[in-house]
Structure 1
Amino acid sequence: MKSKAIRGQGFQAAAVLVSCLFAGAALAADAPAIKGDAQAGAQKVSMCIGCHGIPEYKAAYPELYHVPMIAGQNAAYIVAALKEYSNGARSFPTMDAIAKTLSEQDMADVAAYYSSLK
């Protein structure tokens, strides 16, 4: 009887350890790897302002699409969105093309710039 209890405790300890390992990996994946520089980002947004800087702007290709204003948006959200456009998890032709040209530092800088705006 005692050995079953010990095995049960061992299993529980192993389960806790495995869940901690997965949680740590998930948190590390969510953590921003690169710190963005808003001043550097201000020099990199020329390709963004044509759509995201116009209130109530709608793109007409490939379909009518309301372009979101991203000024003041959370930097981590902007980086995540750019990465998703870059890797194909999100898709919009213009954003796909632009995001694929950006380095991780560029993404962080652009996100820092836009998140600093009100």
Structure 2
Amino acid sequence: MKKLSILSKLLVCSGLVFVGFSAQADEVKGSAAAGNTKVWLCVGCHSIPDYRADYPLVYRVPMLGGQNAAYITTALSEYKKGERKHPTMRSIATSLSDQDMADIGEYYAAQTASSPNNPLK
């Protein structure tokens, strides 16, 4: 009886491990190379030094180069869900897939001061 109890616990634990692996497999992996062709959406505001947007409020638009990929992906996802409020960013984010957001995040995370100029960024 005791052996059966231990065996059932081992089976449950091993099942949970496989569930964890399948959840990780569903995670989207970004590609900086793929993001290279997708950042044209960001150019109008985020590539202009000291740019200040005036709608809906006046604020300084951040430069994205060198920013953490996960932060960019999360921010875009929050704009898409409406958790962050900015009409322009929301409309852009709603047009992006999860893969697009991950690729854009990886692209900007890979940027440094010595990165070659991308005419699309």
TM-score, normalisation: structure 1: 0.72
In structure 2, distance between residues paired with 1:96 and 1:116: 24
Residue among 97, 104, 119 paired with 1:103: 97
- What amino acid maps onto 1:34 in structure 2? V
SS of residue in 2 equivalent to 1:46: helix
Residue among 71, 74, 86 paired with 1:80: 74
Residue among 47, 51, 54 paired with 2:41: 47
RMSD of the TM alignment (CA)? 2.0
SS of residue in 1 equivalent to 2:41: coil
In structure 1, distance between residues paired with 2:77 and 2:55: 21
Which structure 2 residue ranges, 5 or more long, are not aligned? Answer: 1-19, 113-121
Q: CA deviation at 1:61?
A: 1.1
Give percent identity, aligned residues only: 54
Partner residue of 2:65? 71
Does residue 1:37 correspond to 2:31, yes or no? Answer: yes
Q: CA deviation at 1:33?
A: 1.5
Partner residue of 1:17? none
SS of residue in 1 equivalent to 2:40: coil
Q: CA deviation at 1:87?
A: 0.2
Q: CA deviation at 1:91?
A: 1.0
Q: CA deviation at 1:63?
A: 1.5
